[in-house]
Structure 1
Amino acid sequence: MNKFLTIRRPDDWHLHLRDDEMLNAVTPHSADFGRAIIMPNLVPPVVTGGQARDYRARIRAALPEGAALKPLMTLYLTETTDPADVVAAHAEGLIAAVKLYPAGATTNSASGVTDFDKVRPVLEAMAEAGVPLCVHGEVTDPAVDIFDREAVFIERVLDPVRRATPGLRVVMEHITTADGIAYVRENAADAAMGGTITTHHLVINRNAILAGGIRPHYYCLPVAKRETHRLALREAAMSGQGPFFLGTDSAPHPDRAKLQPCGCAGCFTAPNTMSILAQVFEEDGKLETLEAFASLNGPAFYRLPPNEDRVTLRRQDEPIRYPETITAGEETVTVFDPGFDLHWQMEPA
């Protein structure tokens, strides 16, 4: 049995750091990643290059001394987004992508898009300038079952937007279905499509949320689906294929907000993501493809070099104990529990 695995430093291509006390509490838990795409759904959202610059400064201030993490900023796409501001912010290296939230799809998405004709000039400018579009892939039509919203999004929104905007490079974030995996594979030629897969969606299916009692700390959006979909995600993540890469979607919420009659969606996986990934890749006999998923495929899509430095994952005989919660001011945030022992831990090479 392998006792250690050395890989290029991993990146996180979908991360929520929030702001204020929560930002200061959760940011150190992602500090050992090389880069992270930072989500812009604050209140108010990050919609201009100037706001992205200010948010990046707050993130850097929250990082511990010597941290490896380089925050890659995104802008929140609205129906009033200025194409020139997007292109200029990307050309400056200030932002790495623009994020599309259909209005009402998830946490702090009220400012998202309802009329895609209104954002067509932005998308066309992005296609010309090579700015990737990261999409939260769910429709919000109340007539569509929540377990079908990703598949319907592909048909109603994603495919029409891509056909109407030749050259637009798209990341379908936090894929949860076999439909999403198939669509990315079919459209990945020339790096036109990529797809992120979260840590928690490799572990849980919808039974984890609902069977035997409601488990709010497993509730996320997009919601976990049937076991057949989870297995499709694991196969894609472990395939080593270029269009699939790690985006944790680590999404901290105060326990006070999670444990409500109408609780928040999100799993806080930042503290133990690499331990969980090594465990599930080992379980499926695919440790050799972990580097492609966590360290190589994402940079290739974003046209960035892989990190030069290495980290080592070491396997310990005794289970590694992560804290059940962390503290953010007067709040607690529950760390994702995969439901099995973890024996792998990332440390500097």
Structure 2
Amino acid sequence: MTQSLTIRRPDDWHLHLRDGAMLQGVLPETARHFGRAIIMPNLVPPVVTGADAAAYRDRIMAALPEGMDFTPLMTLYLTEDTNADDLAAAHASGLITAVKLYPAGATTNSASGVKNFDKVRPVLERMAEIGCPLCVHGEVVDAEIDIFDREAVFIDRVLDPIRRATPGLRVVMEHITTADGVAYVQANDRDLGATITTHHLIINRNHILVGGIKPHYYCLPVAKRESHRQALVQAATSGDARFFLGTDSAPHIDALKEHACGCAGCFTATNTMSCLAEVFEAANALDKLEAFTSLNGPAFYGLPANDATITLTKGDPVTYPAKLETGAGPVTVFDPGFPLHWRVA
């Protein structure tokens, strides 16, 4: 049995770092293991211009502890007022790596997102011309659509029409949660990839609701049926280069999670690699872990894989802190619900 595994240093292709005291508290948890991360722009106010992205990048680097090596890959928040020239200049300079599409109201701090998709078509066409990827939060927000059906409806109503109308646009379906999402990616060979989170590989909707509401398992997109979780595991462990890790690690202080209207998000930065090793080992696919965490994402974004490596070793169960204490308040670390025997050496 494998007791040690050395892989290229992983990257996180979907990460929330927040700002201020929370940024300072959570950044080291990612930088400890991950070389790069796509940084979400849904701050208040959001990161909508190149100047915003440069200022946010500077704050991230100022918060990085001395001796840690980490590269934030910045994104812009797509709005109906996004300036295509500013976007193109930010991308050409290397300041931004991608642009994020939030349907208005879909998730945390998404009020500034897109309501009328026709208004952003010129920007999307410019992005296709310059090769700037679009990262998509793939859910409709129509009140009449069941929350468990939002992803599948988004694919049919929004994503597929956008891709057909904008040939050459590179799209990342972020945090897919359904067999429908997996099947759509598998049916499209060109210009389409998908991230899968750590927590969606582990929990289904029963974990949130059975035996009492578990607010620290509540996320958006919400976890689905067990059959969908199994489809995600099969995709992640397949070696298919279109699927790669985006943790969507999303810190909220406990007071806002354990609340009458609790925030959505699972904080997985601390123990993601241990969790993933367990998932991949259970699927007899430890040999595919490197592709999912370290190779497929860079290939999609046209970046080199990290030169550095990390080694995971298997032994007695690892004990992670239940909470991360930050200057903003305590943040509960994701509990997979089973022992973690793999650790980063």
1:188 shift after superposition: 2.6
CA distance in 1, matches of 2:317, 2:241: 32
2:242 equivalent to 1:243: yes
Q: How many residues align?
A: 344
> 5+ unaligned residues in a row in structure 1: which ranges?
none
CA distance in 1, matches of 2:328, 2:8: 37
User: Alpha-carbon deviations, 1:239-258, whole Å to 9, x = none?
Assistant: 00010000000000010000
Which residues of 2 match residues 337-348 of structure 1 at below 5 A?
Answer: 337-347=335-345
Moved more, 41-50 or 330-339: 330-339
| Aligned residue identity for 2:322 | E
CA distance in 1, matches of 2:186, 2:132: 21
2:329 equivalent to 1:326: no
1:147 shift after superposition: 0.1
2:9 equivalent to 1:28: no
TM-score norm. by structure 2 comes to 0.99
1:66 shift after superposition: 2.1
2:291 equivalent to 1:292: yes
CA distance in 1, matches of 2:306, 2:326: 30
CA distance in 1, matches of 2:176, 2:58: 30
1:346 shift after superposition: 1.3
| Aligned residue identity for 2:75 | T
> 5+ unaligned residues in a row in structure 2: which ranges?
none
Corresponding residue SS for 2:271: helix
Greater than 6 Å deviation, 4+ residue runs: none
Match of 1:254 in 2: 253
CA distance in 1, matches of 2:188, 2:60: 34
Match of 2:107 in 1: 106
CA distance in 1, matches of 2:218, 2:181: 20
Match of 2:270 in 1: 271
Contact (CA 8 Å) 2:22, 2:328: kept in 1 or not?
no
1:67 shift after superposition: 1.6
Which residues of 2 match residues 49-198 of structure 1 at below 5 A?
Answer: 49-189=50-190, 192-198=191-197
Which residues of 2 match residues 41-52 of structure 1 at below 5 A?
Answer: 41-52=42-53
CA RMSD of aligned residues (A): 0.7
Moved more, 56-65 or 289-298: 56-65
1:329 shift after superposition: 1.6
**Identical pairs, percent:** 71
Corresponding residue SS for 2:107: coil
Match of 1:5 in 2: 5
| Aligned residue identity for 1:326 | L
1:330 shift after superposition: 5.0
Label 1:330 to 1:174 Cα distance change in 2 as closer, same or farther (>3 A): closer
Contact (CA 8 Å) 2:21, 2:328: kept in 1 or not?
no
1:62 shift after superposition: 1.1
User: Alpha-carbon deviations, 1:231-288, whole Å to 9, x = none?
Assistant: 0000000000010000000000010000111100000000000000001111111100
Match of 2:14 in 1: 14
